[in-house]
């Protein structure tokens, strides 16, 4: 299955934004771009600012670690929108994004499989309002919502597949329905978000956790709205989106036409005739409409395009790859095409001491990394988990370009005009977890949330001064030279430096996403250059047979492969019975990590859905975690009530999944791919990580880790037999990973272990949803539709990660 555990880093959710860097930048480049709202909130709550992480060191294998690059194909369109202020409609039923996120990948290993994910990162903790033609901060952000991730329907697919076509996330939908059951990405209205794309190496259908590359495109950030606020955006959308052709000036549903529709003096039949004259021609409807409208003397000439690109661009092109050809042999594991499923996985290591897997019905291809904690909002901050005060610095990321926007006394919010040069898209080109304490990806741990003055003022504050880049940094050493470790000051200078690329938000050193490439965060054109990799430390560990570019492996391959003597005994893991054909659509994949009774496809298909009302999840699969890693009190089963959400006092709960406590549980022991051509039962041998492998102490190189006896992976040609995966490679940056409670793990008991700033992390369930329409050998759209129209949830209710019934 999409073992979530296979993708622990994702479980981090928004907080991962901090690990996103412009890899082509030098040291300052790895400063976190944006802390998620969650991060911000967490930071605001904590009274124990994290110590700055060690100064990043130059990766020894820089350049080798990763050459994965991602380009935003429709970047020009995005930039147009960004220059105006991109708004995305969100509805209860879900709304697609436009412009759609269409990217091009390169640098992947053609033989390896990758999973592409899309998620949204809250850019700040503010709520906005469109006033006076500008966006202004009007208060604090809403409570954190369930983190959901959209899995590209092609996932998993080989690198060759991804690189051979443009990758479109046009099927991703945004919703403001917090109770959404379709798996759409849930967002708050009037909030700012930044789309983020993850490329995760999927070693096989059941295991994720290879190198992870996260990308963001600054120009793709947007504000969510339920109705367009800025007319310019509306015009842009109408001009650019084929679905909105009817609203174009030459369309039959245009304002102009509507206005005149009932007042037209001309005989409607005339227009009809005009249209009929061309009805048989190849003229587009727009052309016909134009002709029809042309007959209306009261209408002025119709502009071709508001921005000049609307007519030339084909913004709504589908991915070259027909959906039916797309492969999706990932999400369906354990079910038939007729039975799409939700997979909810919970990381409970350290607390519940087990990993629970929920198989739940679903109809979309999204994965929810439910780190949402319904109780989380209740924080020491008061009524809001977020700092209600508008953070000038938070908006600084939207630093307006003086050359583009006129200074406004009201400090209007202006999106920056995008530079002609593409921004580096890579935020985080690195393994999910840094293997070294110097890993840039851990920069987020440098978030030293200053005690931001909580303003209760209801007066709207300017989102951003159009004349200056606001930063909370008292002083920025130098443009582009601000170290991510620069001590932060809790004070917020009213007058930020004239220009500041590095922006610190709530103490989080970051860069303006809108920073022109030629500045501190100067980006290298994506298309032509391979930005230097700032990401990782040589301590990254290569997967077997992975090219050096992909060697960084800091993420446990899979939580599902938790090795534990007890686990192996109680839940024999069947060997993978299938080969990973590129686009095979597994109709019934036995679930290796499941008890034998549940491993069969039939069992999975008939899986009983959790009964929310009863407070128990019947379909949950609990995988005990090694005792030594267990928290003092561990639940024996996955129960809704067992979700131990981080206390509101947690400094930064979002990091918990990465906590040392979680890693040991993942104890990669069973993930030793070998040269052997068959897949043996997952070894459940518990490979306790020696103290030396403790993330906190991790400064050693891969070579320092004795290879673990490789296990046969099977027919995965991509797996190099010669390079066994080293579980110990899963390292954690001390500053990033919340140290385990000393009592929980010996590895954290060392003197070098920083004080435990985080309580044992709670569960971080992952919910996977599949869109049956994608890549199945047989058409599923019809079935999908039937489900949709039924408005019924025959699958039953299921428990969201927050413990509440979703449906």
Partner DNA sequence: TCTACTGGCACATTTGAACCGT
Partner DNA sequence: AACGGTTCAAATGTGCCAGTAG
User: Footprint of DNA on this chain (CB under 7 A)?
Assistant: 89, 91-92, 94-96, 98, 129-131, 138, 171, 173, 176-177, 189-190, 225-229, 234, 237-238, 241-247, 251-253, 255, 258, 284-286, 289, 316, 318, 323-324, 773, 779, 781-782, 784-785, 788-789
Distance of closest approach, residue 284 Cβ to DNA, in angstroms: 6
Distance of closest approach, residue 208 Cβ to DNA, in angstroms: 27
Do residues 422 and 525 lie in contact, with contact meaning Cβ atoms separated by under 8 Å?
A: yes
**Any idea what DSSP says for residue 370?**
-
Strand blocks (E) in 561-667: 621-624
Q: Sign of the C-alpha dihedral, residues 694, 695, 698, 703?
A: positive
Residue 229 or 466 with smaller CB distance to DNA: 229
Distance of closest approach, residue 242 Cβ to DNA, in angstroms: 4
Distance of closest approach, residue 79 Cβ to DNA, in angstroms: 17
Residue 314 or 529 with smaller CB distance to DNA: 314
| Strand-pair category, 366-369 with 621-624 | unpaired
Please give the full DSSP string across 435-464, using - where no structure is assigned. SSTT-GGGGGGG------------S-EES-
Distance of closest approach, residue 148 Cβ to DNA, in angstroms: 16
What is the rounded (10 degree) CA torsion for 108, 109, 113, 114?
-20
Residue 187 or 426 with smaller CB distance to DNA: 187
Residue 326 or 683 with smaller CB distance to DNA: 326
The two tokens of residue 288 are: 């016909």
Separation CA 657–CA 9 (nearest Å): 8
Residue 98 or 386 with smaller CB distance to DNA: 98
Residues in the chain: 807
Neighbours of 370 (CB within 10 A): 29
- Cis peptide leading into residue 99 (ω within 30°): yes
Residue 314 or 614 with smaller CB distance to DNA: 314
Distance of closest approach, residue 285 Cβ to DNA, in angstroms: 5
Cα distance from N-terminal residue to C-terminal residue, the chain: 22
Query: Which of 662, 698, 664, 508 is CA-nearest to residue 50?
Result: 508
Distance of closest approach, residue 184 Cβ to DNA, in angstroms: 10
Backbone conformation region of residue 498, classed left if phi is above 0, alpha if psi is from -120 to 50, else beta: alpha
Distance of closest approach, residue 231 Cβ to DNA, in angstroms: 7
Q: Sign of the C-alpha dihedral, residues 591, 594, 595, 601?
A: negative
Q: Sign of the C-alpha dihedral, residues 226, 230, 231, 236?
A: negative
Residue 201 or 323 with smaller CB distance to DNA: 323
Residue 246 or 754 with smaller CB distance to DNA: 246
Starting at the edge strand found earlier in the chain, the sheet holding 95-96 runs 95-96, 173-175, 185-186
Cα angle: 611, vertex 615, 619; to 5 degrees:
45
Residue 678 or 785 with smaller CB distance to DNA: 785
Distance of closest approach, residue 251 Cβ to DNA, in angstroms: 5
Query: Which of 156, 164, 150, 165 is CA-nearest to residue 197?
Result: 150
Separation CA 295–CA 282 (nearest Å): 20
Distance of closest approach, residue 427 Cβ to DNA, in angstroms: 25
Residue 242 or 742 with smaller CB distance to DNA: 242
Do residues 167 and 116 lie in contact, with contact meaning Cβ atoms separated by under 8 Å?
A: yes
């Amino acid at each position: 299955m999409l073992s979530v555990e296979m993708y622990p880093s994702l479980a981090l959710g928004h907080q991962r934004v901090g690990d996103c860097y412009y890899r082509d930048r030098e040291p300052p480049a790895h400063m976190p771009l944006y802390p998620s709202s969650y991060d911000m909130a967490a930071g605001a709550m904590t009274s124990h600012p994290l110590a700055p992480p060690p100064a990043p060191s130059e990766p020894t294998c820089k350049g080798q670690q990763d050459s994965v690059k991602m380009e935003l194909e429709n970047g020009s369109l995005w930039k147009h929108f960004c220059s105006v202020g991109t708004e995305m409609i969100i509805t209860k039923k879900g709304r697609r994004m436009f412009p759609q996120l269409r990217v091009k990948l390169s640098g992947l290993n053609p033989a390896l499989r990758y999973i592409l994910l899309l998620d949204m990162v809250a850019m700040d903790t503010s709520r906005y309002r469109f006033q006076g033609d500008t966006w202004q901060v009007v208060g604090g952000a809403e409570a954190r919502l369930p983190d959901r991730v959209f899995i590209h329907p092609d996932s998993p697919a080989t690198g060759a597949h991804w690189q051979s076509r443009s990758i479109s996330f046009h099927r991703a939908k945004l919703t403001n329905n917090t109770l959404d059951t379709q798996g759409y990405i849930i967002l708050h209205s009037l909030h700012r978000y930044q789309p983020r794309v993850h490329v995760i190496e999927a070693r096989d259908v059941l295991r994720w956790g290879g190198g992870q590359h996260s990308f963001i495109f600054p120009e793709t950030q947007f504000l969510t709205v339920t109705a367009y606020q800025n007319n310019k955006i509306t015009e842009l959308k109408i001009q650019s989106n084929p679905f909105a052709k009817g609203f174009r000036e030459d369309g039959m549903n245009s304002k102009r036409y509507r206005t005149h529709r009932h007042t037209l003096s001309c005989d409607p039949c005339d227009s009809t005739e005009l249209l009929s004259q061309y009805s048989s021609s190849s003229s587009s409807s727009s052309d016909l409409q134009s002709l029809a409208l042309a007959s209306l003397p009261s209408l002025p000439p119709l502009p071709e395009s508001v921005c000049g690109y609307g007519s030339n661009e084909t913004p709504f092109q589908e991915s070259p790859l027909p959906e039916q050809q797309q492969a999706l042999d990932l999400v369906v594991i354990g079910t038939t095409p007729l039975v799409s499923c939700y997979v909810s996985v919970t990381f409970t290591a350290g607390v519940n001491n087990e990993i629970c897997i929920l198989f739940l019905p679903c109809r979309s291809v999204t994965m929810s990394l439910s780190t949402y904690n319904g109780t989380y909002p209740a924080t020491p901050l008061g009524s809001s988990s977020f700092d209600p005060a508008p953070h000038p610095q938070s908006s600084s990321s939207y630093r307006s370009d003086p050359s583009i926007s006129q200074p406004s006394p009201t400090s209007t919010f202006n999106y920056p005009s995008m530079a002609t040069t593409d921004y580096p898209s890579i935020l985080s080109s690195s393994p999910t977890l840094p293997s070294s304490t110097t890993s840039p990806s851990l920069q987020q741990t440098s978030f030293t949330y200053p005690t931001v003055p909580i303003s209760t003022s209801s007066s709207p504050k300017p989102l951003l001064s159009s004349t200056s880049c606001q930063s909370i940094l008292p002083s920025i050493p130098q443009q582009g030279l601000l170290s991510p470790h620069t001590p932060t000051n809790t004070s917020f200078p009213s007058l930020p430096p004239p220009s500041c690329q590095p922006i610190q938000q709530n103490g989080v050193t970051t860069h303006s996403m809108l920073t022109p490439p030629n500045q501190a965060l100067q980006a290298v054109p994506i298309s032509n250059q391979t930005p230097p990799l700032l990401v990782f430390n040589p301590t990254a560990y290569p997967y077997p047979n992975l090219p050096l570019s992909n060697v960084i492996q800091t993420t446990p391959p899979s939580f599902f492969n938790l090795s534990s003597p007890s686990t192996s005994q109680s839940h024999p893991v069947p060997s993978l019975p299938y080969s990973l054909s590129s686009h095979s659509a597994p109709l019934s994949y036995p679930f290796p990590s499941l008890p034998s009774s549940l491993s069969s496809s039939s069992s999975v298909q008939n899986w009983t859905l959790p009964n929310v009302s009863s407070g128990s999840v019947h379909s949950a699969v609990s995988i005990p975690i090694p005792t030594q890693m267990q928290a003092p009190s561990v639940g024996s089963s996955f129960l809704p009530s067992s979700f131990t959400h981080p206390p509101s006092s947690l400094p930064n709960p979002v990091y918990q999944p990465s906590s040392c406590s979680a890693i040991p549980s993942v104890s990669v022991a069973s993930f030793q791919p070998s040269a052997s051509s068959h897949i043996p039962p997952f070894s459940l041998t518990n490979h306790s990580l020696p103290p030396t492998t403790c993330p906190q102490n991790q400064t050693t190189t891969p070579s320092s880790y004795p290879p673990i006896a490789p296990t046969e992976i099977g027919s995965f040609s991509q797996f190099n037999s010669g390079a066994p995966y080293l579980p110990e490679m899963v390292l954690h940056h001390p500053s990033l990973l919340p140290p385990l409670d000393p009592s929980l793990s010996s590895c954290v008991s060392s003197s070098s272990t920083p004080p435990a700033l985080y309580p044992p992390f709670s569960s971080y369930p992952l919910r996977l949803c599949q869109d049956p329409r994608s890549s199945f050998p047989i058409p599923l759209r019809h079935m999908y539709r039937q489900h949709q129209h039924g408005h019924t949830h025959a699958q039953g209710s299921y428990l969201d990660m927050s413990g509440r019934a979703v449906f």
